[in-house]
Amino acid sequence: MSKKIRVAVIFGGRSSEHSISCISAGSVLRALDRTKYDVVPIGITKSGTWVLESDDADRLTIQNGVFPEVDSTNPTVLFTADPSATQLVVQSGASEVLDQVDVAFPVLHGPWGEDGTIQGLLELAGIPYVGSGVFASAAAMDKAHLKAMMKSAGLPIGSYEVISNAQWVNDQAGCLAHIQALGLPVFVKPCRAGSSVGISKVKSHNELTAAIETARMHDPKVIVEASIENAREIECGVLGTPTGPKASVCAEIIVRDGHEFYDFEAKYVDDSVELSVPADLNPALHERLRDLAIQAFLAMDGEGLARVDMFVTGEDVVINEINTMPGFTPISMYPRMWAETGLDYPALVDALVQDALRRGVGLR
């Protein structure tokens, strides 16, 4: 029998999306074909400690309203950044060296994971990994840099202002004046966060300071975006293949009464959104959105996978964000779009691992 491919599934992390990462990872663990893959679950605690997690997908679910976390009592994992060794060392009393890891699946959302940091570590270690490389991961995580890249590529974006930590500390009045030029309402967001944490929809200039301070609790760099009212929120999945990126069918997020926008509670806590897959779009617009998603993916030098989020008003389209590691449960939008396109969840996970092995590491 040929040796199984050893996959390190890495999840948790230090960001505010720690629990969402755990939930996504549980689904990936459940989907990996154990006749083909030898799976090593590795959790990163909220404090940043790497531990060898149990291979128990059921534990990584919301239970009785409690979100899962990485178990910090598990054996500590030391990462050996040695391309010739490519080893994970597990300390549990005496050190034990696990067999070689062939590929990593970093199911991490937000800073310290989705932002190029772990991608750089894996590059140094010579371990192929699922998803975009260092640059694309970092650029997509920073909403301001992503918008600048999209604009440079001639792709449509909305109006926005960025407030750095230094600008806010030294000149709040000037920052507020620039924001007011956007009109109302606006969305105030942490520049480098996801899952809608720290986001406020602001309808009065009197609310701006409080909204900025809320966002700054998650990131000292803040982005303020002009709201595109009455727009449809359309998403499209992009998947790397040996012949180039492919786009899934598009889907629409329909937020019901009780939520101003697609916030954290609407995403993960209550049943207040409808996910329409595929979206009810005329065929020409649907194909245009799929093409725009691929253009955006290529413009940021994306690899592996991404979910491209767009706002559509009539025939007008604005690219809002790109997620290089979107939510990854079977009911998350990205896997659902690919399932509707003809690639079910286990096949999608397998395709991503095989794509990572094909690409390898280094300049490409």
- Between strands 5-12 and 103-107, the pairing is parallel
Q: How many CA atoms lie within 13 A of 242 on its CB side?
A: 5
State residue 271's pLDDT score: 58
Identify whether the C-beta of residue 90 lies closer than 8 Å to the C-beta of residue 75: yes
Q: What is the DSSP string of 152-198?
A: HTT-----EEEE-HHHHHH-HHHHHHHHHTT-SSEEEEETT--TTTT
Specify whether 146 is located in the same domain as 168. Answer: no
Specify whether 89 is located in the same domain as 190. Answer: no
With a CB cutoff of 8 Å and minimum separation 6, the contacts of 286 are 249, 250, 278, 279
Specify whether 212 is located in the same domain as 250. Answer: no
Summary mean pLDDT of the chain: 89
Specify whether 151 is located in the same domain as 272. Answer: yes
Spatial CA neighbour of 27 closest among 49, 59, 53: 59
| Number of separate domains in the chain | 3
Q: Residue 363 falls within a domain, yes or no?
A: no
How far apart (Å, rounded) are the C-alpha atoms in residues 130 and 292?
Answer: 23
Specify whether 208 is located in the same domain as 93. Answer: no
Specify whether 237 is located in the same domain as 272. Answer: yes
**Mean pLDDT in residue range 339-360:** 97
Q: What is the CATH number of the domain that holds 194?
A: 3.30.1490.20
Specify whether 119 is located in the same domain as 146. Answer: no
- Give the Å distances, CA to CA, from 185 to 160, 260, 267, 318: 12, 11, 22, 17
Specify whether 32 is located in the same domain as 52. Answer: yes
Specify whether 288 is located in the same domain as 145. Answer: yes
Specify whether 147 is located in the same domain as 281. Answer: yes
Specify whether 170 is located in the same domain as 251. Answer: no
Residue type, 362: G
pLDDT in tens, 177-189: 999 999 999 999 9
Residue type, 308: V
Where in the sequence is the domain holding 307, given as residue range(s)?
Answer: 140-156+229-358
What does the longest C-alpha to C-alpha distance in the chain come to?
69
Burial environment of residue 38 by CB neighbours within 10 A (0 to 12, 13 to 18, 19 or more): middle
Q: What is the CATH number of the domain that holds 42?
A: 3.40.50.20
Angle (deg, nearest 10), helices 143-152 and 283-299: 110
Q: Residue 288 falls within a domain, yes or no?
A: yes
pTM equals 0.88
Burial environment of residue 268 by CB neighbours within 10 A (0 to 12, 13 to 18, 19 or more): middle
**Mean pLDDT in residue range 202-231:** 94
pLDDT tier, 87 (very low <50, low <70, confident <90, very high otherwise): low
Q: What is the CATH number of the domain that holds 334?
A: 3.30.470.20
Q: Which range among 130-139, 268-277, 304-313 shows the weakest confidence by mean pLDDT?
A: 268-277
